């Protein structure tokens, strides 16, 4: 039976656009649809408006998934260097900010324009404000009923992303579609998200709101040494966002607020050499003043170093080098950068992203249970998974 399109792609974000371009370049008739009037909004707001579009070190160890091997094939088939070549070809200037993170010198709009130009050149039919009412498996493909009419295709690609930032278009459509076709979904949860606290710790966070320090945050075997920010709701900053993707409810984090400094040994040595120095003054040489005062206050540690017992100094040092905190939760999808979990990779081919039990049905991008660390890894997954599906549809 002949279908109206070779490929229908639902979701015109990073992964959907990449897949559409590649399929179009292969001569496929592609219908790319999105329910929002404005597409690629996540690209627009990403990286503080400069889009951290990839990471030079995008390797499988920087991704979370129930199957950590799943992302290998796609990341190998379409690498950060491949995307960089594309960006260069379009004359988009970029720079490495830190840790292999590549950002546009100008604006993230340049990446959107690049993708839209390529999609147009590849003959992709892009339609916005298009709502899907129903998907049905038919002989040799799928039928998609929308508010813009009914179309059929041989290959159907679900690229509707995760649940973060609902106000710019996130829905659970991808997960519901997966379930409808019998695919398992790993419970989605907010990732790369600020953590919230209660009680006196929340009061301390509020009082310190806006203050940031370099910190080492540990949860189980995971350690991230980056900035930490106190907020009105709790803790944020890159180190907290990173650990949030691993954190499970009820778990404690161990935070070193002065990495590389053994605060106990430091204070003990000063107690011997400068016993009259006030403990507050000593700590403000290690930590920002507001934070130092807050910790001394919390530990009821006051007076000249010489007047403080070693036990008192040890407790103080522990509150700095091994600060143990129990988050009460996360800020949730309202502010999360990604969704951890998603379509179970065991149901998909790692080479093509096609559902093993449903020929012609593909899942790409964030809707799949593959979540990158902060720093360009998530877009690289969107490009790589979109690219391999685009070669297979």
In contact, 379 and 385? CB cutoff 8 Å:
no
- The least distance separating ligand FAD from the CB of residue 39, rounded to whole angstroms, comes to 5
- The least distance separating ligand FAD from the CB of residue 275, rounded to whole angstroms, comes to 50
Q: Give the residue closest to ligand FAD by C-beta.
A: 13
CA dist list (Å): 371 to 105, 146, 368: 26, 30, 8
**CA distance linking residue 155 with residue 305, whole number of Å:** 72
- The least distance separating ligand FAD from the CB of residue 273, rounded to whole angstroms, comes to 47
Which C-beta is closer to ligand FAD: that of 170 or that of 263? 170
- The least distance separating ligand FAD from the CB of residue 229, rounded to whole angstroms, comes to 15
- The least distance separating ligand FAD from the CB of residue 10, rounded to whole angstroms, comes to 5
**CA distance linking residue 8 with residue 153, whole number of Å:** 6
Q: What are the beta bridge partners of residue 253?
A: 325
**CA distance linking residue 306 with residue 328, whole number of Å:** 38
**CA distance linking residue 163 with residue 320, whole number of Å:** 35
End-to-end alpha carbon distance in the chain: 17
Which C-beta is closer to ligand FAD: that of 152 or that of 321? 152
- The least distance separating ligand FAD from the CB of residue 139, rounded to whole angstroms, comes to 25
Which C-beta is closer to ligand FAD: that of 159 or that of 301? 159
Which C-beta is closer to ligand FAD: that of 122 or that of 255? 122
Q: What is the DSSP letter of 17?
A: H
In contact, 160 and 171? CB cutoff 8 Å:
yes
Chain positions contacting ligand FAD, by CB under 6 A: 10-16, 34-36, 39, 42, 45-47, 51-52, 132, 159-161, 164-165, 169, 171, 173, 337-338, 365-366, 376-379, 382
Which C-beta is closer to ligand FAD: that of 313 or that of 392? 392
Which C-beta is closer to ligand FAD: that of 191 or that of 327? 191
- Spatial neighbors of 369 by CB under 8 A, at least 6 apart, are 65, 66, 67, 70, 186, 341, 342, 343, 344, 345
**CA distance linking residue 31 with residue 29, whole number of Å:** 7
- The least distance separating ligand FAD from the CB of residue 309, rounded to whole angstroms, comes to 48
Which C-beta is closer to ligand FAD: that of 176 or that of 297? 176
**CA distance linking residue 112 with residue 95, whole number of Å:** 18
């Amino acid at each position: 039976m002949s279908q109206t399109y070779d490929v229908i792609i639902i979701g015109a974000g990073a992964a959907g656009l990449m897949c559409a371009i590649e399929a179009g370049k292969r001569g496929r008739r592609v219908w790319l649809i999105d329910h929002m009037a404005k597409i690629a909004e996540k690209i627009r707001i990403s990286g503080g408006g400069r889009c951290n579009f990839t990471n030079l070190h995008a390797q499988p160890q920087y991704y979370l998934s129930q199957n950590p091997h799943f992302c290998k094939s796609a990341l190998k088939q379409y690498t950060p260097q491949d995307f960089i070549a594309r960006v260069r070809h379009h004359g988009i200037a970029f720079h490495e900010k830190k840790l292999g993170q590549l950002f546009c010198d100008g604006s993230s709009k340049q990446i959107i324009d690049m993708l839209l130009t390529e999609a147009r050149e590849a003959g992709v039919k892009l339609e916005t404000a298009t709502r899907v009412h129903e998907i049905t498996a038919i002989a040799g493909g799928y039928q998609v009923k929308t508010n813009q009419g009914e179309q059929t295709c041989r290959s159907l690609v679900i690229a509707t992303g995760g649940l973060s930032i609902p106000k710019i278009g996130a829905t659970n459509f991808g997960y519901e579609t997966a379930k409808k076709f019998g695919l398992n979904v790993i419970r989605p949860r907010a990732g790369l998200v600020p953590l919230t606290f209660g009680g006196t710790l929340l009061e301390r966070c509020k009082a310190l709101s806006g203050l940031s320090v370099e910190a080492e945050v540990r949860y189980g075997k995971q350690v991230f040494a980056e900035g930490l920010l106190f907020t009105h709701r709790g803790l944020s900053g890159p180190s907290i966002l990173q650990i949030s993707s691993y954190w499970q409810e009820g778990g404690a984090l161990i935070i070193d607020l002065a990495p590389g400094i053994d605060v106990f040994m430091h204070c003990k040595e000063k107690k011997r050499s400068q016993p009259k120095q006030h403990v507050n003054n000593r700590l403000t040489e290690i930590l920002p003043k507001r934070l130092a005062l807050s910790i001394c206050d919390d530990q009821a540690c006051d007076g000249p170093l010489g007047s403080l017992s070693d036990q008192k100094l040890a407790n103080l040092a522990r509150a700095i080098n091994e600060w143990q905190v129990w988050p009460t939760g996360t800020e949730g999808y309202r502010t999360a950068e990604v969704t951890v979990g998603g379509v179970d990779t065991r149901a998909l081919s790692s080479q093509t992203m096609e559902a093993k039990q449903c020929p012609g049905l593909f899942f790409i991008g964030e809707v799949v249970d593959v979540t990158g660390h902060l720093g360009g890894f998530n877009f690289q997954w969107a490009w790589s998974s979109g690219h391999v599906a685009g070669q297979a549809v």
